[in-house]
Structure 1
Amino acid sequence: MNFDVIIIGAGSMGMAAGYFLAKSGKKTLLLDSFNPPHNKGSHHGETRIIRHAYAEGEEYVPFVLRAQELWTDLEQATGKQLFLQTGVLNVGEEGSEFIRNIISSSEKYSLPLDIMNAEEVYQRWPGITLPGDYVGCFEPASGILKSEECIQAYKELAESHGATILTNSRVQDISVLADRVIIKTDEETFYSDALVVSAGSWSGELLSTMLDLDLPLTAVRKTFAWFDADENSYNHEQFPAFNFETPEGIYYGFPSTDGCGLKVGRHDGGDEINPDESMQEFGEVAGDKEDLRQFLNGYLPEIQQLKYGKICMYPMIPDEKFIIDLHPKYPNIAIAAGFSGHGFKFSSAVGQALSNLIISGKNDIDLSHFSLKRF
């Protein structure tokens, strides 16, 4: 079968790209080894934070602001509530690079930001206890995305615009002949003018074995868990999503939505894994529960009783900056990879960017920071 564009990996980035390409009139095929949304991707776990005053660098801010606009567009197109404006509280040592970057990003782009000392944080959210030299930077316009529902929404829209989505269909071979791409799965062969690779934790192997592009991409096992919490104090209308930089690690969390409890995870750390091998479930690795509990004991001591935990995978790259670029040898192949655990919030804008790269090779958002040239 012939298509204008084939997308390998129909998760966060791929599904959004499928929508934008199909909406533009491209005959689009999305292939995925599983059935998105699923528990093999970094989107697993119901919710993701979207922050605007970005601690990872000012270069991300225009991109995340575009993503926020596109999430609003998605809500309007589907009639679904996908974003909860809970605000996001960023916490760290006063004067740290983490805090400085948040403040400088907010100043440069005129983003609303409330800066509070430890006592002021406690007065506003009594469940949070901070050391005296910590500060809180609260972003009132930020919040939570319902990650799995976002993917489902893009899936429905992509199909409504004529996209074909084949699930449980693993790619076995890719051939590039002049301006044509040939994709072989277990059961079929497909032809297209262009290709998008957005295969998450499988991108590294796929690119190296089939597209002659070796990148330092790895997969890391990550854990997160829900804890019992007083719904009167920790519900999403009263309590913010949060991001803490501590000496023990970087932790993030979510208020209780629909009575699910307080959700907490750790951003850094994790064990490198083979994505094709089954991961140990939450609690089967020493330290899964204890790591989260020690964070809660130090900063949210009212939260104690574990409800349940889950696992997902981060596709990591050493500098933790994204890859969004055209293949250096094949200008009809776009790549989105290495989102390193902080990419989901951008996926609406990444999908639009991938569509633009395939259609025109250009973007109105600066993607130079995410270029393959740095390798």
Structure 2
Amino acid sequence: MSGTFDVIVVGLGGMGSATCYQLAKRGVRVLGLEKFEIGHAMGSSHGLTRILRLAYFEGSAYVPLVRRARDLWIETGKAAGEPLFFEVGALDIGRQGSGIVENAETACRDHGLAYDLLDREAIARRFPAFRPGADHVGLYQPQSGFVASERAIIAHTALALHHGAEIHGCEAMLGWEATAGGGVRVRTDQGTYEAGRLILSPGAWIGDIVPALKPSATVIRQTLGWFSPLQPALFAPERFPVFTLETEGGHFYGFPLWQHPGFKLGSPHYGNDVYDPDTPTRLPSPGHREQLRACLADYIPAANGSLLGLKACMYTMTPDEHFIIDTLPGCEQVVVASPCSGHGYKFASVIGEVLADLATRGASPFDLSMFSLQRFIGR
């Protein structure tokens, strides 16, 4: 196969599928390439849901991006004919003085977000499924919630196709090169294609495609568990928010019941389970299973029923845990958008818009300076 396009997007997970949609609806001739099937479970976006928090304790500078992301999830859901964002509120629970709640409050104040500060008793009173620790405090932000992550990738892809994008699943990129005219040539296991711009959003495989980033992109295994709740009514979406929970065993996160009979809990965030993305299976970590159980027993006992399922996914972490969104030095027609350090999916809708802007206009209205490649290349 062969062809010529305005833009080629490599990797059609959360970011790449959104980018194809944003480009196609602008009338750009775009080719999307995915080495696995569309909506696969080999990357970082499966497992039904991902949290969207506006009170961003990772840094107040993220809030303008996540607010735009929220708007776009709602807008895209309407275009797709199904809701993709569910506003159930978000609760960040941390140890007093650890910075989790304090930084979330700073983000709310900086950007005029509604929020409630809750002490230990108030957390248990408002959300009786929780049994907070003695030093726990919380911040509740009502405009937050979760995104239907798997459905969103399918929706973005379907909308991209509707607007004229060419999408190839099960086609792996073998390499790319700059062309004399300032464009790119991409070689796959099925053909060769040319374009004026190339967007690389391959997630855990970024170190293979941009070797200079390999030392700064650590892939870790994350485990998601679903447990039969002992008191299901406590975890209904109208009564229970998405949450993050800082404990002595790590930083966990979870969701209300939705499209699955089990309560979903994520293993300690940013764990040290380094993983090879070319492993042919995605087996969960046995150690994570024990950590999930311990978290339930100590802090969410009403969810500590039988295990219904475990899934593994991957996070690709940078040393400072911020994203990489930048053009490739010396090859400005190539945009890199990976890794997203375990907290990126919620931004997929807006990153798609940002990447489309970079490919078609050469700039974005958002300040992307903290996502620069120069942090890691040329040190």
TM-score range relative to shorter protein:
over 0.9
Q: 8 Å contact 2:282–2:311 — kept in the other structure?
A: no
Q: 8 Å contact 1:184–1:190 — kept in the other structure?
A: yes
> In terms of mean alpha carbon deviation, does 311-320 or 191-200 score higher?
311-320
Q: Which residue of 1 aligns with 2:170?
A: 168
Q: Which residue of 2 aligns with 1:264?
A: 265
1:75 corresponds to 2:69: no
SS at 1:307's partner residue? strand
1:192 corresponds to 2:222: no
2:185 alignment partner AA: I
SS at 1:245's partner residue? strand
Q: Which residue of 1 aligns with 2:131?
A: 129
TM-score by length of 2: 0.95
Q: Which residue of 2 aligns with 1:101?
A: 103
Q: Which residue of 2 aligns with 1:327?
A: 328
Pairwise CA RMSD = 1.3
Q: Which residue of 1 aligns with 2:237?
A: 236
1:99 alignment partner AA: V
What is the alpha-carbon distance in structure 1 between the residues aligned to residue 358 and residue 259 of structure 2?
39
Please list the CA deviations of residues 338-363 of structure 1 after superposition, one character each: whole Å capped at 9, or x if unmatched. Answer: 11111000000100000101111111
TM-score by length of 1: 0.96
Q: Which residue of 1 aligns with 2:141?
A: 139
What is the alpha-carbon distance in structure 1 between the residues aligned to residue 89 and residue 341 of structure 2?
23
Q: Which residue of 2 aligns with 1:156?
A: 158
Q: 8 Å contact 2:7–2:199 — kept in the other structure?
A: yes
1:167 alignment partner AA: G
What is the alpha-carbon distance in structure 2 between the residues aligned to residue 292 and residue 177 of structure 1?
50
1:358 alignment partner AA: A
- After TM superposition, the structure 1 = structure 2 runs for residues 1-375 of structure 1, keeping only pairs within 5 Å, are 1-178=3-180, 179-208=182-211, 216-229=216-229, 230-266=231-267, 267-279=269-281, 281-282=283-284, 285-304=285-304, 305-375=306-376
Q: Give 4+ residue runs of structure 1 displaced > 3 Å after superposition.
A: 212-215
Shift of 1:270: 4.1
> In terms of mean alpha carbon deviation, does 290-299 or 300-309 score higher?
300-309
Please list the CA deviations of residues 140-175 of structure 1 after superposition, one character each: whole Å capped at 9, or x if unmatched. Answer: 110010001011110011001110010110111211
Please list the CA deviations of residues 295-337 of structure 1 after superposition, one character each: whole Å capped at 9, or x if unmatched. Answer: 1111111222211111111122111100011111111111100
Shift of 1:242: 0.7
What is the alpha-carbon distance in structure 2 between the residues aligned to residue 277 and residue 296 of structure 1?
30
When the two structures are aligned, how many residues end up with a matched partner? 370
2:196 alignment partner AA: D
SS at 1:205's partner residue? helix
Shift of 1:132: 2.5
SS at 1:268's partner residue? coil
Please list the CA deviations of residues 103-130 of structure 1 after superposition, one character each: whole Å capped at 9, or x if unmatched. Answer: 1100111111111111111111111111
1:353 alignment partner AA: V
Q: 8 Å contact 2:206–2:214 — kept in the other structure?
A: no
Shift of 1:213: 5.7
What is the alpha-carbon distance in structure 2 between the residues aligned to residue 203 and residue 214 of structure 1?
7
Shift of 1:214: 5.2
What is the alpha-carbon distance in structure 2 between the residues aligned to residue 248 and residue 279 of structure 1?
27
SS at 1:338's partner residue? coil
SS at 2:210's partner residue? helix
> In terms of mean alpha carbon deviation, does 263-272 or 144-153 score higher?
263-272
1:262 alignment partner AA: F
Shift of 1:215: 5.3
What is the alpha-carbon distance in structure 2 between the residues aligned to residue 23 and residue 40 of structure 1?
28
Shift of 1:278: 2.4
What is the alpha-carbon distance in structure 2 between the residues aligned to residue 258 and residue 265 of structure 1?
17
2:321 alignment partner AA: E
The runs of 5 or more residues in structure 2 that have no matched partner are none
1:249 alignment partner AA: G
1:143 alignment partner AA: G
SS at 1:297's partner residue? helix
1:268 alignment partner AA: Y
Please list the CA deviations of residues 202-259 of structure 1 after superposition, one character each: whole Å capped at 9, or x if unmatched. Answer: 1111112xxx665511221110110111322211111111101122111000111145
1:332 alignment partner AA: Q
Shift of 1:100: 1.1
Q: 8 Å contact 1:194–1:332 — kept in the other structure?
A: yes
What is the alpha-carbon distance in structure 1 between the residues aligned to residue 374 and residue 214 of structure 2?
13
2:339 alignment partner AA: G
